Amino acid sequence: MERLIENTMYAARWLLAPIYLGLSLALLALALKFFQEIFHVLPHVFELAEAELILVLLSMIDMALVGGLLVMVMISGYENFVSQLDIDEGKEKLEWLGKMDSGSLKLKVAASIVAISSIHLLRMFMDAQKIPNDKLLWYVVIHMTFVVSAFAMAYVDKLTKH
């Protein structure tokens, strides 16, 4: 009975595979939105003020960071929790593939969230005259919460490795 339960629990990890596949569809949706933004801004690039163009570009950088986060979670999550990826010999292999455990993935996700939050906060500051001060304060508080959380996670990880 114990062996059946253990084998069932071990096999259940494959329930994560469709979730990671779904993340690849989310990445496709993000790429479509990214190119929609490019096609929207290019015809009007000479009409836009510099600050407006910078806001659009920051939004695109934000999308690129989220895309990288999706790839990192999708691939390393699959490798850590479902199965190793079998990359054919001679095909390009990501340098970090197979080297990122769940702890380092967690830290990379936290760092990515801080970077995404930073870009979002920068966009808010670029448009600060239109945003009430109390709302800006909350953006800063939330961002600092992400920063402190990331540092705390890294510190705890460092303590547990030594």
Distance of CA 75 to the CA centre of its chain: 12
For residue 116, which of 83, 82, 160, 150 has the smallest C-alpha distance?
150
Identify which has the larger pLDDT, 151 or 97: 151
For residue 139, which of 155, 126, 150, 151 has the smallest C-alpha distance?
126
State the Cα torsion 102-107-112-117 to the nearest 10°. 130
Residue 143 has a CB neighbour count (10 Å cut-off) of: 19
For 111, residues 6+ apart whose C-beta sits below 8 A from its C-beta are 150
Convert the pLDDT of each residue in 132-151 to its tens digit: 888 889 999 999 999 999 99
Q: Which own/partner contact pairs does 27-33 have at CB distance under 8 Å and 24+ positions apart?
A: 27/67, 27/70, 27/71, 27/74, 30/63, 30/66, 30/67, 30/70, 31/67, 33/63
Identify which has the larger pLDDT, 54 or 36: 36
Q: Residue 27: pLDDT above 90?
A: yes
Helices (H) and strands (E) in the chain, counts: 5, 0
- Percent of the chain scoring above 90 in pLDDT: 43
Least confident of 27-41, 87-101, 104-118, 146-160: 87-101
Identify which has the larger pLDDT, 38 or 79: 38
